[in-house]
Every structure is written in C-alpha cells, then in structure tokens.
Amino acid sequence: MPLLELQHSLIAALFQRDQLAEAAKFVKAQGSLSSEQRVGIYRNSAHGILLDYLESLYPVCLELVGTEFFGRTAHSFIDQMPPTRPFLADYGADFAAYLSAHPALQEMLWIVEVAKLEWARHAAWHTVNQVASDFTQLETLSAEQQAELRFQLPASAQLLSAHSPIHSIWLAHQDEYPDKPQFDEIDLEEAQQVLIFREQRRLHQTTLSPDDWAFLNAVQNQATMADLAEQFADQLPWLFSVAMQENWIYSFTTTPDETKPTRNS
Amino acid sequence: MTPNPILGCGIGLRFQHIDQILADKPPIPWLEILSDNYLTPGSVQQDYAIEVAEYYPVTLHGVGMSLGATEPFNDEYFQRLKSLADQVRPAWISDHLCWTAAHGWVSHDLLPLPYTEETIKHVVQRIREAQDRLERRLVIENVSSYLQYQESYLSEWEFLSAVAEEADCKLLLDVNNIYVSAFNHDFDPCKYLDSIPIERVQQFHLAGYEDKGTHLLDTHGQPVSDPVWGLYKLALQRFGALPTLIEWDNNIPSLEELLAEAHKATEAHIHAFA
Ligand SMILES: [Fe+2]
C-alpha cells in the first residue's frame, strides 16, 4: 500500500537525518523551499516537541550541562531511541542511561545520578496512590498473623542510592527554597540515599539515614514482620515509628506474598 | 449524566493555571483538556483534570489517535482515553485528520496525509472504527501543514469535506491552521471556508503562528494574528457563533491574559453579525 510506504519513509526521516532525501521523493517542491527542506521542517518540529518535553523532565540536568550540550545530547538520544508508545509521559526513562555513556560525562557521573532522580520524581507524579490501610486494625491480629505481616511503601515510592549528594544538588537548583545549599559548597563525593514519594498532590523528597534506608529497602522487598524483627532486632520499634510518622509506610497485608518464591521451592 | 453545554469562547486547560482555576473558579465558559497529558490512570495530572471537570464544562482534545496511520490502533490508548472520558464526561472528543505513528515509532507530531480518494477511503474506515471504539461521534480537526505530497490531487478542503461526510463525523475548524496552510501552499483561505459543509462544523480553534520568512509555523506561542481574526469573522458569518477555543502551548501567558484573548473571540461573535 503506497500510504504505508510513504509513512515509513517520512517517519524514518524524522529520526534519521540521512533519510531526509529518500522521504523528500514523496514531497512536492514549492516556492523557495525544496522538498527536502519541507521534510526537514517536520524533523525539526518532531525533535522540538520531544526536546521541550525532555527539558521539562530534566530541568536540573539542563542547568548543570547547559542548553547547548543538553540540546545536542537530547537530539542524538531522540534519533537513537525514538518514542514507541503514544504516551509521551512514558518517554525519556532511558535518558539517564544514555547520558551515562556520554564520553564528556565520564568524570561527572553525578549528573547522571541527578537525571535518575529527576526521572524518579516524574514517575512518582504518574503513579496511582493506593488506598491507605487502617493501621488500628493491626491490634486485632493474632501473633501468628502479626509475624506474617508485610508492609508497603506508597506505590509511588522510589528509593535511590547515589554516590553523589543528588538531593543537595537538586535543592541548590530550586528557586523557591530560601535556605537551599549553595552549589559551590556541596561536596560532590558525598553519597546520599533518597526517598521520593507522592502523597495526594504533594511530592516528597528526602534523604535517608543508612538505617532508614536499609529498613525501607527490606520493607519494599516484602520482608515479613518476622524477617524485619530478625534483621533489625531492637532498632525495629524506632525505625517503624519513624516510618509511620513520616508516612513512608502506607498499607499492610496479612496474606502471604504470592510473588515471592518460598524457601523450599 | 448529560454533559454541560459548551457555549461561547473557552480556553485550553494548561498545568500552569490549574491551581489558580481550582482556587478562584473564575468564570470560564468551558475548557478543553488535552487528553494526551492526562492519560496515566491515577496520576496527579488525571486527578486534577477530574476535579476541573466537576466545575467546568469540558471537551477532550487529543493528538495521539493517529487516525490516518496504516498500523493498527493502539488498544491501550483507546482504553485509557475512554476511561478518562468516563471520568470527565466531555461534551465531545476531538483529534486531528493526520497520522502520528508508523513503523513502530511515534512522532508525537501531527503529520499530514496525501489528499487522494484512496486516503479518504482509508481514513473514513479508521474514523468509523475509532467512533465505534469510543461509542461516540468524533470531532476531527484540520492540521496546519508545511508540505504537500506528489500524489495529492485533491485540495485539502475537498479531502476534509469528503472525510466528514463519509465518516459521518463532526469538524473542528482550526482557523489559524487554515490560514497557515493557505500561506504555505498558496491557496485562498476563503475558498477553503466556503467549501466546508456548514452542518458538519462543531467548533473553532484560534491560535498564534510564527512567521519564519519562508513559511508560517503553527507554534501556539503568541496572540492570534490580525489576518486570522479577519478569517475568523468570515467563519462566524458562514457557520454561526460556534464554540471557539484559544490554544496556547508555548510561552504560556497568565490566566488573565489567556482569558482576555478568549474575550476578544467573544467580542468577534458579537461584531460578526453587527
Ligand atoms: Fe488546533
């Protein structure tokens, strides 16, 4: 079917510069613009839409690397990994991985970690809020049921472990925080563990202590109450109460986790 | 429940204005929700759209249906769109007479079709299928374009009119797009308007373009230009004072400025018949 051929050729030109001449064969030359220039308008327009979108997803990275570098890298990313789904919000997850392979960033991989943080924020906005459990019901459970309890972080929760102070770098680039750290004063070698989650229409982003980090990871890996007691011993009540107070734990289940292989299987 | 009527001149809902709209509830005749930005179930974006729809009459306007494509429709896209529509109860759903995806890639841009009898047959069948999937009649918009295909032998207005008649859908006439394409392809925009069947047109779009010297680019980044206001007046005289919407997607102004632009369209409604 000729329409199929035409569309394949056109879309190839949008994402591969060397296909412009091929696509131009389907197009009339009019006025002062050649047919290739006319296809080029669409290539620029499609790239422009995706570049604007990537800039809106990665505003701190954009400030860190500058408009020109970001634009060049984004354009080559778009050509190498064009969108494959009609949902724009799904596009751009691979951008951090793409940056991590960039020769110019090998000594500045903290920028890649900031990109991962920015994607995690985007993903948290786009995740559904599950229904919160009624934690007063915990008291009604038998000792056996209590041992089998599993907890859930908010569905939107993203636990990030970075070799660099991603939270501080991110904060330093937010205009609306009056007490933000000065970028020049940040020690780029400092590792940070960060939790991002959404509560209704608010996004929370916070650094975690190593203990809180280990605890929330265990919870996210569906450890039972008995597992947690074994792993965290007498620290558990404290870790648990902080997590509850901060709304890091959102719901619980008493049924066995079907997704986790049993020890004997 | 019957959706609220869409009357007068509305604006496109933009993220930047949502908090203000929900807090102040300014008098806005209606809002057009860009469906593609609200399609993630349970996302904060969708949550906002649902709340806005509780207070204002809304329509859903999309860019991702890819009605003119040759590959099969994306089932998930239609499921999500239908679920959004169930929640915001739009007066109607619109998308463009174009294609966006091919070969497994999605351009997220509005790409023109060749204007031939064969394409009409293809698009008509696709619009019918989309209407069946959504269980409602669609409203189809003309796109602005920067190229014409070798194989095109019909005019855009002949193509658009034939598609609307044969698919039995409604039309969203983007007056700015007509003007932009008329400049780029050297045709008479008045002739375009005069050829469109009156009873098919349901809505108008107005937006700003950018003059690139060699061509006009539909950027939605500035006020509606004077010649487009002129063409709009002719459109009102031919099709009547139909619901009109101001689109603004780049350099988005304050809500007040946007509403002032919509107010200009309301004044044009009055003066068109004076
Ligand atoms: Fe439009």
Per residue in A215-248, pLDDT (tens digit) is 999 999 999 999 999 999 999 999 999 999 999 9
A and B: number of Cβ contacts within 8 A: 135
The token duo for A198 is 């959404």
* Together in a domain, A262 and A235: yes
Whether residues A32 and A117 fall in one domain: no
**B119: nearest CB among A3, A11, A200:** A3
Residues having C-beta closer than 5 Å to ion ligand 1: B 174, 205
Judgement on whether residues A124 and A184 belong to the same structural domain of the protein? yes
Q: What is the pLDDT of residues B217-259, one digit of tens each?
A: 999 999 999 999 999 999 999 999 999 999 999 999 999 999 9
**ipTM metric:** 0.95
**Amino acid letter for position A94:** D
Q: What is the model's pLDDT at position B69?
A: 98
- Chain B CB within 8 Å of residue A152 CB: no
Nearest alpha carbon to residue B252 among B28, B17, B10: B17
Whether pLDDT at A263 is above 50: no
Question: B27 near B263, Cβ under 8 Å?
Answer: no
Point out the residue among B74, B104, B150 whose CB comes nearest to the CB of A26. B150
Residues A134 and A194 occupy one common structural domain: yes
Q: What is the span of the domain harbouring residue B171?
A: 9-272
Token pair for A259: 């997704």
Is residue B3 situated within a structural domain?
no
pLDDT value of position B271: 86
CB contact under 8 A, B103 and A33: no
* A231 vs A228: CA distance, rounded Å: 5
Rounded CA gap, A164 and A62, in Å?
A: 18
Dist. CA B35–CA B38, nearest whole Å: 5
Looking at the complex, report in whole angstroms how far the Cα of residue A88 sits from the nearest Cα belonging to chain B: 7
- Residue A256, classed as helix, strand or coil, is coil
Pairing of strands B216-217, A251-253: unpaired
Long-range contacts of B257-261 (CB under 8 A, 24+ apart): B258/B11, B258/B17, B259/B11, B259/B26, B259/B28, B261/B11, B261/B206, B261/B223, B261/B224
Task: Quote the radius of gyration of chain B (alpha carbons, Å).
Answer: 18
Domain final residue, candidates A107, A124, A144:
A107
| Contact criterion met (CB below 8 Å) for A190 and A161 | no
Element (H, E) at B217: strand B216-217
The answer to whether residue B2 is domain-embedded is: no
Q: How far is the CA of B59 from the centre of ligand 1 (A)?
A: 13
B87: which chain A residues are within 8 Å (Cβ-Cβ)? none
Q: What is the pLDDT of residue A1?
A: 56
Per-residue pLDDT of chain B (274 residues; tens, 9 = 90+): 445 688 999 999 999 999 999 999 999 999 999 999 999 998 999 999 999 999 999 999 999 999 999 999 999 999 999 999 999 999 999 999 999 999 999 999 999 999 999 999 999 999 999 999 999 999 999 999 999 999 999 999 999 999 999 999 999 999 999 999 999 999 999 999 999 999 999 999 999 999 999 999 999 999 999 999 999 999 999 999 999 999 999 999 999 999 999 999 999 998 887 7
B103–A11 CB contact, under 8 Å: yes
Q: Which of A85, A107, A129 is the last residue of a domain?
A: A107
- Predicted local confidence at residue A132, as pLDDT: 87
Whether A258 shows a pLDDT value over 90: the answer reads no
Centroid of ligand 1 to alpha carbon of B45 (angstroms): 22
The percentage of residues in chain A with a pLDDT greater than 70, rounded to a whole number, is 96
Pair B164, B203: CB distance under 8 Å: no
Taking Cα atoms as reference points, which of A49, A126, A9 lies closest to residue B63? A49
Q: Are residues A129 and A257 in the same domain?
A: yes
Which of B43, B69, B150 lies closest to A7 in CB terms? B69
Nearest CA-CA distance, residue A210 and chain B, Å: 30
A60 with A157, same domain?
no
Q: Chain A: residue nearest B104 by CA?
A: A84
Within chain A, residue ranges assigned H as helices are: 2-15, 20-24, 35-57, 59-65, 67-80, 95-100, 109-125, 143-147, 166-172, 210-220, 225-232, 236-245
Q: Are B130 and B137 in contact (CB under 8 A)?
A: no
SS3 assignment for B6-18: CCCEEEECCHHHH
Query: Does the beta carbon of A178 lie under 8 angstroms from any beta carbon of chain B?
Result: no
**Residue B1 falls within a domain, yes or no?**
no
Cα A244 to its chain centre, rounded Å, is 24
Q: Is B65 within the bounds of a domain?
A: yes
Interface membership of A8 toward B (CB under 8 Å):
yes
DSSP-assigned letter for residue A185:
G
Beta-strand pair A202-208/A251-253 = unpaired
Chain A residues near residue B102 by CB distance under 8 angstroms = 4, 7-8, 10-11
Give the model's confidence band at A265: pLDDT under 50 very low, under 70 low, under 90 confident, else very high. Answer: very low
Chain A residues within 8 A of B107 when measuring between CB atoms: 11, 14, 46, 82-83
Q: Looking at the structure, tell me whether residues A100 and A18 fall in a common domain.
A: yes
pLDDT at A25: 97
CB atoms A87 and B64 under 8 Å = yes
- Rounded to an integer, what distance in angstroms lies between the CA atom of residue A33 and that of residue B167? 34
Which pLDDT band holds residue A257 (cuts at 50, 70, 90)?
low
* DSSP codes joined into one string, B44-104: HHHHHHHHHHHHS-EEEE-S---TT-SSPP-HHHHHHHHHHHHHH--S-EEEESSEEEETT
Of A107, A141, A171, the domain-final residue: A107
pLDDT at res. A176: 85
Q: Where are the beta strands (DSSP E) in B64-214?
A: 93-96, 99-102, 105-111, 138-141, 170-174, 201-206, 210-211
Q: Which residues of B touch A79 (CB under 8 A)?
A: none
The closest of B90, B98, B59, B29 to B203, measured between CA atoms, is B59
How many domains does chain B divide into? 1
Sorting pLDDT into bands at 50, 70 and 90, what band is A179? confident
* Shortest Cα–Cα distance, B46 to chain A (Å): 9
> Quick check: B214 and A32 CB within 8 A?
yes
pLDDT in the model for residue A262? 43
Residues of B in contact with A88 (CB under 8 A): 36-37, 108
Q: Which residues of chain A does B69 touch, with a Cβ-Cβ cutoff of 8 Å?
A: 7
Q: Can you give the pLDDT at residue B4?
A: 63
Instruction: State mean pLDDT over A134-147.
Output: 90
pLDDT of residue B5: 86
Q: Chain A: residue nearest B101 by CA?
A: A11
Distance CA(A170)–CA(A190), nearest Å, equals 14
Q: What is the pTM of this model?
A: 0.94
Residue-range definition of the domain harbouring residue A156: 112-265
CATH of the domain at B176: 3.20.20.150
Residues A256 and A141 occupy one common structural domain: yes
B17 CA from centroid of ligand 1 (Å): 19
Q: What is the reported pLDDT for A264?
A: 42
Q: Which of A7, A90, A201 to mutate to test the interface with B (most CBs of B within 10 A)?
A: A7
Q: Based on the domain organization, do A56 and A160 belong to the same domain?
A: no
CA count, 13 A, side-chain hemisphere, B103: 15
**Count of H helices and E strands in chain B?**
9, 12
Residues A83 and A212 in one domain: no
A157 vs A117, A125, A224, B43, B159, CA distance in Å?
A: 12, 10, 19, 14, 50
Please check whether residue B63 lies inside any domain of the structure: yes
Of residues B74, B148, B186, nearest to A86 (C-beta): B74
Q: Is the CB of B70 less than 8 angstroms away from the CB of A4?
A: yes
**Closest by alpha carbon to B269, among B238, B231, B242?**
B242
Q: How many domains does chain A have?
A: 2
Which of chain B's residues have a Cβ under 8 Å away from the Cβ of A200? 44, 47
Ligand 1 geometric centre to CA of B220 (Å): 9
Chain B neighbors of A197, CB-CB under 8 A: none
C-beta atoms of B42 and A86 within 8 A: no
With beta carbons under 8 A apart, name residues in chain B contacting A81: none
Residue in this structure with the two tokens 């070698």, named with its chain if needed: A189
3-state secondary structure of A188: coil
Q: Do A33 and B215 touch (CB under 8 A)?
A: yes
Nearest chain B residue to A85, by CA: B106
Q: A252 and A122, same structural domain?
A: yes
CA A258 to chain centre: 27
Are both A126 and A63 inside the same structural domain?
A: no
CA–CA dist A164, A189 (Å, integer): 5
Q: Residue with structure tokens 């605890």?
A: A215
Chain A residues touching B152 at Cβ < 8 A = 28
What pLDDT score was predicted for residue A138? 87
